[in-house]
Chain A
Amino acid sequence: MNDKADIQETLKKEFCTPGERLTALLIIVLGILGYYFAMGMTSETFYSPSVVPKLTSTVVAVCAAAALFRTRTKDKNPLDWRRTLKYFFPKDVLVILVFLVAYSFMLPLAGFNIASAVFLFAAIAYLQHWKNLIRAAVISVITVAVLFLVFRYMFLVILP
């Protein structure tokens, strides 16, 4: 059985969604940190800048604790950490994310036109399993050219 089918099969039986407890725990930490940093803000009156951040952080932490508490009756998620990671980041998502991060760092170096054309070509070619490379290249160049003309000259938008 391949990984994807294996994950789907296992998920049919489980109760806790993958990473449910970990997400709730992380949100509790977020709430606690939110409150902790709000303690450093001015807090003299009930209308001080710290009041709403403190109240909101408390709501975040308490509700996340409630969400975590509710999982006590559920069975532990049967996916091990490797398969949980694969559930959250299947290969396609991971590759596109890497392309996206590379694109964002390439933007200031290569400029909008080149960086966008390269990103588009790489993403389309990858998602189409490196077939029709010429078509992917043509789509990328035409798309970037149209976007450049429309945004720069019609909408007067400054491009990255």
Chain B
Amino acid sequence: MENLSYFLLPFTSIEMLLLTAVGVLSGIWVGAIPGLSVTMATALLISFTFSWELNNALALMCGVYVGGNFGGAITAILLNIPGAPPAIATGIDGYPIAKRGEAGKAIGLCLMLSIFAGAVGVCILGVAAPILGKFALKFAPRDFFLLAIMGLLLVGSLGGGDPVKGIIAGAIGVLISMIGMDNSTGELRYTFGNIHLMGGVNFVCAMIGLFGVSEALTQFRGSTSGGIKQNLTKIIPDFSMFKKYLPLSLRSSLIGVWIGALPGTGGDVAALLAYDQARRTTKHPEYPFGEGAFEGVVAPESANKGSIAGAFIPMLTLGIPGDSVTAIIIGALYIHGLKPGPMLMIETPHLFWMIVCLLALSYFFLMLLGILSIKPFAKIIEIPKSIIMPIVIILSVVGTYAIQNSLADIYFMIFFGVIGYLLRLSGYPVGPIVLGIILGPLLDSNYRRAMQASDNMIPKFLSSLVTNPISLVITLVIIYLVVSQTTWYQKLRGKKNDIVEIPDVGA
């Protein structure tokens, strides 16, 4: 009963309700603009909310987090340029859907199932947070290393029709992520004495270049005169369609909650894993994956919505952030004199239940404001490419500069744009490069910790991968992922190889 009263706390303040709605709306717009990340928006919010009452500050932050996570999908679907890293997987099938003129339907379906997935996540957060939080802590460095390997194996399904080229692109991404100062030893790697390389290559900068600029350049290869007319008569999906994708959304949201609860992994990894899972488990999609399958949009979007609640689990129960946004929210809690950690739920239970309610409220506002935002956003794609693509380039420049106010980042972004464009034309997918840049540090740091824990002995390291139950399960999943890519396995299953193609080299 006491917990219920804590849960209902936001309803007692009109200010909190309003701020949650404002947060969701601004989050949708911030998330939709490539380069303006939810992390950055939340960090900015700290700077002007630190003098506010904590409850109001949290209401705004939760709203921005949820809204921004949805906003990222909008530009991914409309322009094939993910507004935020979790939307990378969404664009693979979302953009072909938009090219069919069904962007409104795709975003509407995304929105409805996102809300469902978010609700699943919030329920799990409310019910099972303490248990899940403790379990997530049992993950050793070798498990995170295996998780990174598992993520990288997704290049098999994002490989542009050729797994070898996918692996090359993924490995190039990992190599790029090695640039800069090594976090554990301070040693400089691949910096060549250049001061701008010492901080490493920001993956958002690479993502904007590889997706934004290279997409714009690719679009200039075709006709730039007209836009794509969108059918916006039916944005809200009918119940049969909603019901059809509900089981997939549920599965994906559970993946999202789980991945989100693991410290250091976020919506981007969750979305890619869920996309891969959908591709493997969907028997007869209406459209093939990579050519506009609705399943290819539902799965990653449901997973990254689930990952929001998941990221709060270790944050609220253990004081460990699940992702970069929750790391900033932890900072906000510290600023307000609270100490996030196991005692948080004992000393300030109202805070836990209030956050659960704020997340639920954010999804409610997302439903209202998201529907209203679809039509104006979908009109963007109807603008002729000769106007929209130069604007996309300007947005890419602004977004890149906003990361750390560095002109060097703009040059890096243009460099990545040209490289991405050339690789796309040569049949190399750019998605795995970004995946490699994201997973590279996770793989490197955890491999080294695991090897250190194995006393620098390879046999001990290898045996630890199969003697621990969690490691064994992930190892078996990895073996399955590798075996399932072989022609031998596919012949055995009598299944056609349905590897999807990310690159779209324009008309």
Q: Do A and B come from one complex?
A: yes
Docked complex Cα distance between A70 and B387 (Å)? 41
Report chain A residues within 8 Å CB of B189: 38, 41, 49-50, 53
Is residue A100 within 8 Å, beta carbon to beta carbon, of the partner chain? yes
Knowing A52-B178, A57-B175 are in contact, say whether A100-B452 is a contact too (CB < 8 A): no
Given A17-B427, A52-B444, A96-B217; A159-B172 close (CB under 8 Å): no
In this complex, how many residues of chain B approach chain A with their Cβ under 8 Å: the count is 64
Cβ–Cβ contact B426 & A19, under 8 A? yes
B-facing mask of A113-145, CB < 8 A → 1, else 0? 000100110011001100000000001000110
Per-residue CB proximity of A42-68 to B under 8 Å, as 1/0?
100111111111001101100110110
Q: A17-B426, A56-B174, A56-B178 are in contact. Are A46 and B220 (CB under 8 A)?
A: no
> Would you give the 0/1 interface string for B385-427, flagging 1 where the beta carbon is closer than 8 Å to chain A?
1110111011101100110010100110010001001110111
Instruction: Give A46 to B211 CA distance when docked, in angstroms.
Output: 35
Enumerate chain B residues within 8 angstroms of A112, measured Cβ to Cβ.
Answer: 398
Given the interface contacts A60-B175, A157-B36, does A104 sit within 8 Å of B164 by beta carbon?
no
The answer to whether A20 and B171 have CB atoms under 8 Å apart is no
Bound-state Cα–Cα, A48 to B385, Å: 49
Cα-based distance from A56 to B175 in the complex (angstroms):
6
Q: Which of B221, B394, B456 contacts A143 (CB 8 A)?
A: B394
> Do the beta carbons of B172 and A42 come within 8 Å of each other?
no
CB distance from A65 to the nearest CB of B (A): 10
Please give, as numbers and ranges, the residues of chain A lying within 8 Å of B458 by CB-CB distance: 46
A23 with B398, Cβ < 8 A, contacts A90-B221, A127-B224, A158-B405 known = no
Known contacts A41-B187, A42-B185; decide if A104 and B397 are in contact (CB<8 Å).
yes
Return the contact of B221 from the options A93, A103, A154 (Cβ within 8 A): A93
CB–CB B185/A49 < 8 A = yes
- Find chain B residues with CB under 8 A from A139 CB: 387
Q: Is the pair B426, A30 in contact by a Cβ cutoff of 8 Å?
A: no
Distance of A67 Cα from B213 Cα, bound (Å): 26
Given A155-B44, A160-B407; A46-B427 close (CB under 8 Å): no
Residues of A within 8 A of B205 (CB): none
A53 vs B30: C-alpha distance when bound (angstroms):
35
Determine how close the nearest CB of chain A comes to the CB of B184; give it in whole angstroms: 8
Residue of B nearest to A160 (CB): B401
- Specify the chain A residue showing the minimal Cβ separation from B409: A160
CA A18 to CA B169, docked complex, whole Å: 18
Residues in A with CB closer than 8 Å to B387 are: 124, 139
Q: What A residues does B414 contact at CB under 8 A?
A: 100-101, 104
Whether, in the assembled complex, A34 has its beta carbon less than 8 Å from a beta carbon of chain B, the answer is yes
Which chain A residue shows the least CB distance to B385? A127
Please state if B174 and A52 are interface contacts (CB–CB under 8 Å): yes
Q: Does A15 contact B (CB under 8 A)?
A: no
Interface flag for B232 (CB, 8 Å):
no
In the assembled complex, the CB of B440 is this many whole angstroms from the nearest CB of chain A, namely 8
Closest residue of A by beta carbon distance from B450: A47
Complex: A81 Cα to B388 Cα, angstroms? 32
Whole-angstrom CA separation of A52 from B443 in the bound complex: 8
Which chain B residues lie closer than 8 Å to A97 at the CB level?
Answer: 217, 418
Residues from chain B with a CB closer than 8 A to the CB of A154 are: 26
A158 to B409, CA, bound (A): 14
Q: Which residues of A contact B451 (CB under 8 A)?
A: 45-47, 51
Instruction: Tell me what chain A mostly uses at the interface: helix, strand, loop, or mixed.
Output: helix
The complex places the Cα of A143 from the Cα of B41 at a distance, in Å, of 22
Within B297-330, which residues are at the interface with A (CB < 8 Å)?
none
A1 at the interface (CB under 8 A from B): no
Q: Evaluate contact between A158 and B410: CB separation under 8 angstroms.
A: no
Asked whether A104 and B410 contact (CB < 8 A) given A56-B174, A116-B394, A147-B394, the answer is yes
Say whether, besides A19-B426, A49-B182, A104-B411, A127 and B386 are in contact (CB < 8 Å): yes
Question: Which residues in A have their C-beta under 8 angstroms from that of B391?
Answer: 120, 143
**Choice from A23, A53, A157 contacting B428 with Cβ under 8 Å:** A23
Chain A residues whose C-beta falls within 8 Å of the C-beta of B452 in the assembled complex: 47
- Per the bound structure, the CA–CA distance linking A48 and B26 in Å amounts to 44
With contact pairs A92-B224, A155-B36 given, residues A119 and B447 touching in the complex (Cβ less than 8 Å): no
B220 and A127 form a contact (CB under 8 A): yes
| Residues on B with beta carbons closer than 8 Å to the beta carbon of A51 | 447-448, 451
A49 adjacent to B187 (CB under 8 Å): yes
Q: Are B456 and A45 in contact (CB under 8 A)?
A: yes
User: In the bound complex, do residue A34 and residue B448 qualify as a contact, i.e. CB atoms below 8 Å apart?
Assistant: no
Q: Are A93 and B220 in contact, with the CB atoms below 8 A?
A: yes
Name the CB-closest residue of A to B168: A63
Does A107 touch B at the CB level, under 8 Å?
Answer: yes
Min C-beta distance of B461 to chain A, whole Å: 8
Instruction: With both chains docked as a complex, state the minimum distance between the C-beta of B211 and any C-beta of chain A, in angstroms.
Output: 16
The distance in angstroms between the C-alpha atoms of A143 and B395, with both chains bound, is 11
Contact A127 B444, beta carbon cutoff 8 Å? no
Q: How far is the CA of A112 from the CA of B398 in the complex (A)?
A: 9
Question: Which residue from chain B places its CB closest to the CB of A157 in the assembled complex?
Answer: B402
Residue of B nearest to A91 (CB): B220
Name B residues whose Cβ lies closer than 8 Å to a Cβ of A. 26, 30, 36, 41, 44, 162, 164-165, 167-168, 171-172, 174-175, 178, 182, 184-185, 187, 189-190, 213, 216-217, 220-221, 224, 385-387, 389-391, 393-395, 397-398, 401-402, 405, 407, 410-411, 414, 418, 421-423, 425-428, 440, 443-444, 447-449, 451-452, 456, 458, 461
Supplied contacts A52-B178, A60-B172, A147-B395, 14 more A-B pairs, CB within 8 Å? A46-B451, A48-B448, A49-B182, A59-B167, A67-B164, A96-B217, A100-B414, A104-B397, A104-B410, A116-B397, A124-B390, A127-B389, A127-B390, A139-B387
List 30 contacting pairs A-B, 8 Å CB cutoff, sorted by A: A17-B425, A18-B425, A19-B422, A23-B428, A27-B168, A34-B175, A42-B187, A46-B451, A46-B458, A47-B448, A48-B448, A52-B444, A56-B174, A59-B168, A66-B164, A96-B390, A97-B418, A104-B410, A104-B411, A104-B414, A107-B407, A107-B410, A119-B393, A119-B394, A120-B394, A123-B386, A124-B386, A124-B390, A151-B402, A158-B405
Q: Which 9 A-B pairs have the closest CB atoms?
A: A127-B386, A123-B390, A47-B451, A47-B448, A23-B426, A59-B171, A52-B444, A92-B220, A49-B182
